[in-house]
Amino acid sequence: CSMYSKWLNSYRQLPYLYNQWCSVVRWEKTTRPFLRTSEFLWQEGHTLHETPEEAQEETMKMLGIYREIAESHLAMPMVVGRKSDKEKFAGADATYTMEALMHDGQALQSGTSHNLGQHFTKAFEITYLDRNNEQSFPYHTSWGVSTRLIGGVIMVHGDDNGLVLPPKIAPIQVVVIPVAQHKEGVLDKAWEISKTLGKDFRVKVDDVEGYSPGWKFNQWEMKGVPIRLEIGPRDIENGQCVLARRDTGEKIPVSLDNVSQAVADLLTEIQANLFDKALKMREEKTSTAANIDEFKKNITENPGFVKAMWCGERSCEDQIKEDTGASIRCIPFDDEQEVLYEGKCVCCGKPAQKMAYFARAY
């Protein structure tokens, strides 16, 4: 922030949009790989604007971009909304968040976008010459995601056999494994297929000697490669290969003449299936509660999101946290709001302002 006071001079420079990728060090007492580490890589942006409306528009735009990336590429369905005053970033006018649900029923804050108003620009004396030839404070936003998203992908999609990577982000989308590769023509055909597929997809041929096909199958399953392509002497005779899906384990015989289209269709299907499975899991782990006793029962017996009415009082928010370990993950936007149980607060029973998503969280 202090650099902005040196860089910014005139309204003609606005909006000022700054993005950075950097490492962050925090003295965390309790660490978890990817989710909460002493040092992590993140992407963050800081922007300055002439008007509060422009700052709010930027804040919401970035939340939408983060959600689009998470859902379309990472296949992680998100709940989005505004943080409570207790949970928002200190000094922000408002903090907006996207929250994912893990298999153990705990929420993961996966990205945030903050409307910082003029709090930090005033604190750091960031001013500019406005259209009226007067010194003004700009309006400030900040937003970011981190390597925590990698942890989210692992926890949402992974299984007992290892990683399950969505095709759009998988470093290797198809691994070609020659079966009985010592036999004539098998390796040549494997590389021929790889060359064909390599025009459109990220492909690797595992021709390492000394390991059985079964060992290689398990190895690449553990690494989460979306499609395993098996090719052996009998397959070559029949003019086909076998595609094995990482997400379901299903094996599909495919004509070698149609392998490129089959792979394209299957990658699209796997991407959609991973999102649908994660969404179904979230829906199964989302409940509603009319009162605090029902809240406690739900969060214990079926850990996950609890949708409940909240009066807006900090005391009720604190009481719910103390009684259940759950915090307000977000307050959905108006178009996703619901009135539950006659609009009575789940904690005190008084008229409630909003429905909120509660959960225990990492």
Who's near 294: CB < 8 A, 6+ residues apart? 346
pLDDT value at position 181? 80
What tens digit of pLDDT does each residue of 199-234 get?
999 999 999 999 999 999 999 999 999 999 999 999
pLDDT, mean of residues 339-354: 93
| pLDDT tens, residue by residue, 251-286 | 999 999 999 999 999 999 999 999 999 999 999 999
The predicted pLDDT at position 58 comes to 98
DSSP code, position 303: -
Question: Assign residue 307 a region: left if phi > 0, alpha if psi is -120 to 50, beta otherwise?
Answer: beta
Residue-wise pLDDT tens digits, 317-330: 999 999 999 999 99
341 near 296, Cβ under 8 Å?
no
Q: Which residue has the tokens 């190895």?
A: 219
In the structure encoding, which two tokens stand for residue 218, read together? 């398990």
Mean of pLDDT values over 160-167 = 98
**234 vs 220: CA distance, rounded Å:** 22
The reported pLDDT for the residue numbered 3 is 86
Model-level pTM?
0.93
Give the tokens for residue 185.
Answer: 């023509």
Q: How confident is the model at residue 109 (pLDDT cuts 50, 70, 90)?
A: very high
Instruction: Provide the terminal-to-terminal Cα distance of the chain, rounded to the nearest Å.
Output: 29
Q: What percent of the chain has pLDDT over 70?
A: 100
pLDDT in tens, 168-185: 999 999 999 999 888 888
Give the separation between CA 193 and CA 191, rounded to whole angstroms: 5
Residue 77: its pLDDT value, please?
98
Residue whose pair of structure tokens reads 């959600």 in the numeric block: 67
The per-residue pLDDT for range 74-99, each reduced to its tens digit, is 999 999 999 999 999 999 999 999 99
252 close to 131: Cβ distance less than 8 angstroms: no
- Two tokens, residue 139: 């309006």
Report the C-alpha gap between 320 and 316 in whole angstroms: 6
Q: What is the model's pLDDT at position 27?
A: 87
User: What DSSP designation does 352 have?
Assistant: P
**What pLDDT, on a 0 to 100 scale, did the predictor assign at position 290?**
96
SS (H, E, C) 80-95: EEECCCCCCCCCCCEE
| pLDDT confidence band for 115 (50 / 70 / 90) | very high
Rounded to 5 degrees, what angle do the CA atoms 162, 164, 167 make? 150
Domains of the chain: 4-157 (3.30.930.10), 174-270 (3.40.50.800), 286-359 (3.30.110.30)
Q: What is the pLDDT of residues 116-148, one digit of tens each?
A: 999 999 999 999 999 999 999 999 999 999 999
Instruction: Give 3-state DSSP helix, strand, coil % of the chain, rounded to 5.
Output: 35, 30, 35
Joined tokens for residue 73: 């590429």
